[in-house]
């Protein structure tokens, strides 16, 4: 009966509590070996360790930063590039179409250099042509005068003056391309010449005869009654093909304020302006070196008209107005 109870307990507890059974058996019969069957040791079942659930950290909500709205930058609209309009070329005359003489090797030179300067062109309205002008010049050395000669025997009016330097102007129309020299002669005629070449010759000056202003005596006997007589503007012009000249000058006198003046010549002749009772009288006198007489041409008090008076003295009294 005792064994039966032991078997029953073993059957009941052997599977659920093997250690307890083993302990009972050991205390019941220590001499009987007991085989203990240990239940496999299992790691205690632990709840899985989970990382604590945290609310996701969110960055504070910020209003999105927007770049300031700018008007779109547009490239400037450029007008289409057009080829520049080239104006038609203006036709002009060239200074090089004239041949200019060069000085020779003589000492002193007979032929001297010819130069040009001041070329300008002005368009003819409504055309592509122009009028050009320039100056042509040559100069003699001291003690000489110069002549300017053109092609085909043309000469400048200035040759008559036998002067040291001659400068003339020539003109060219591009429609003809011809350089023209033009001058008004003493008789009023207009002389023109087409210029293709220019030469200048210098010649030694020939001493000329000329009248002198000192050939007239200016009188002032009473300084309180007579005023001073003066002369000015003396000039001499050579008589062509001679060594003689025609000289001219002016003679003048002037009264003080409140007076008028008379101009009297030798022999009782008077200036025409004496009749006008004016404060200032100025006359022109001439002299031919072939006779050396200074002449005033004035009214003839006897026969009427005009008359040439030879003047050797001049005096100017003044009278109250």
CA distances from 162 to 17, 37, 62, 158, 220 (A): 167, 166, 107, 7, 39
As given in the structure block, the two tokens for residue 27 are 């205390």
Pairwise CA distance, residues 169 & 146, whole Å? 17
Of 281, 241, 137, nearest to 198 by C-alpha is 137
CA distances from 320 to 20, 221, 225 (A): 183, 18, 10
The pLDDT of 101-106, averaged and rounded, is 95
Beta bridge mates, 156: none
- Number of neighbouring beta carbons within 10 Å of residue 91: 17
Pairwise CA distance, residues 258 & 320, whole Å? 6
Please check whether residue 145 is in contact with residue 162, taking contact to mean a CB–CB distance below 8 angstroms.
yes
Pairwise CA distance, residues 227 & 278, whole Å? 14
pLDDT per position as a tens digit, 150-203: 999 999 999 988 899 999 999 999 999 999 999 999 899 999 999 999 999 999
Work out the end-to-end distance of the chain between its first and last CA atoms, rounded to an integer number of angstroms: 201
The pLDDT of 209-222, averaged and rounded, is 94
pLDDT of amino acid 298: 85
Pairwise CA distance, residues 303 & 281, whole Å? 24
Beta bridge mates, 299: 306
Give the three-state DSSP class for 160.
Answer: helix
Please check whether residue 170 is in contact with residue 100, taking contact to mean a CB–CB distance below 8 angstroms.
no
Q: pTM of whole model > 0.85?
A: no
pLDDT per position as a tens digit, 7-46: 444 454 444 444 433 443 344 444 333 443 344 444 444 4
The lowest-confidence range among 68-72, 196-200, 300-304, 308-312 is: 68-72
Please check whether residue 164 is in contact with residue 140, taking contact to mean a CB–CB distance below 8 angstroms.
yes
The lowest-confidence range among 49-63, 124-138, 274-288 is: 49-63
pLDDT of amino acid 138: 97
For residue 283, give the H/E element and its range.
strand 280-288
Return all residues near 244 (Cβ < 8 A) that are at least 6 apart. 208, 209, 238, 288, 289, 290
As given in the structure block, the two tokens for residue 126 are 């409504």
pLDDT of amino acid 61: 46
Q: How confident is the model at residue 105 (pLDDT cuts 50, 70, 90)?
A: very high
Pairwise CA distance, residues 256 & 207, whole Å? 43
Between 203 and 206, the higher pLDDT residue: 203
Average per-residue pLDDT in the chain?
81
Q: How confident is the model at residue 126 (pLDDT cuts 50, 70, 90)?
A: very high
């Amino acid at each position: 009966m005792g064994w039966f109870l032991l078997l029953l307990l073993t059957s009941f507890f052997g599977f659920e509590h093997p250690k307890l059974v083993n302990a009972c058996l050991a205390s019941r019969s220590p001499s009987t070996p007991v085989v203990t069957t240990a239940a496999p040791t299992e790691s205690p079942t632990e709840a899985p360790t989970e990382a604590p659930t945290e609310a996701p950290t969110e960055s504070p909500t910020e209003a999105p930063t927007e770049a300031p709205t700018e008007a779109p930058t547009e490239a400037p609209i450029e007008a289409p590039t057009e080829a520049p309009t080239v104006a038609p070329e203006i036709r002009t005359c060239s200074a090089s179409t004239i041949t200019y003489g060069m000085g020779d090797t003589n000492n002193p030179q007979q032929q001297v250099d010819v130069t040009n300067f001041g070329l300008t062109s002005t368009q003819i309205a409504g055309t592509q042509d122009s009028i050009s002008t320039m100056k042509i010049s040559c100069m003699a050395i001291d003690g000489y005068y110069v002549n300017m000669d053109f092609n085909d025997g043309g000469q400048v009016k200035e040759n008559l003056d036998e002067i040291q330097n001659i400068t003339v102007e020539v003109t060219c129309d591009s429609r003809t391309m011809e350089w023209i020299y033009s001058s008004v002669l003493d008789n009023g005629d207009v002389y023109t010449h087409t210029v293709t070449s220019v030469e200048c010759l210098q010649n030694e000056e020939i001493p000329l005869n000329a009248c002198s202003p000192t050939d007239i005596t200016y009188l002032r006997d009473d300084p309180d009654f007579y005023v001073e007589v003066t002369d000015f503007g003396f000039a001499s012009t050579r008589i062509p093909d001679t060594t003689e000249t025609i000289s001219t000058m002016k003679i003048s006198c002037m009264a003080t304020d409140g007076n008028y003046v008379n101009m009297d010549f030798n022999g009782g002749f008077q200036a025409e302006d004496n009749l006008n009772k004016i404060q200032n009288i100025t006359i022109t006198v001439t002299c031919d070196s072939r006779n050396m007489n200074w002449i005033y041409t004035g009214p003839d008090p006897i026969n009427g008209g005009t008359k040439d008076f030879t003047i050797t003295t001049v005096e100017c009294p003044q009278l109250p107005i």
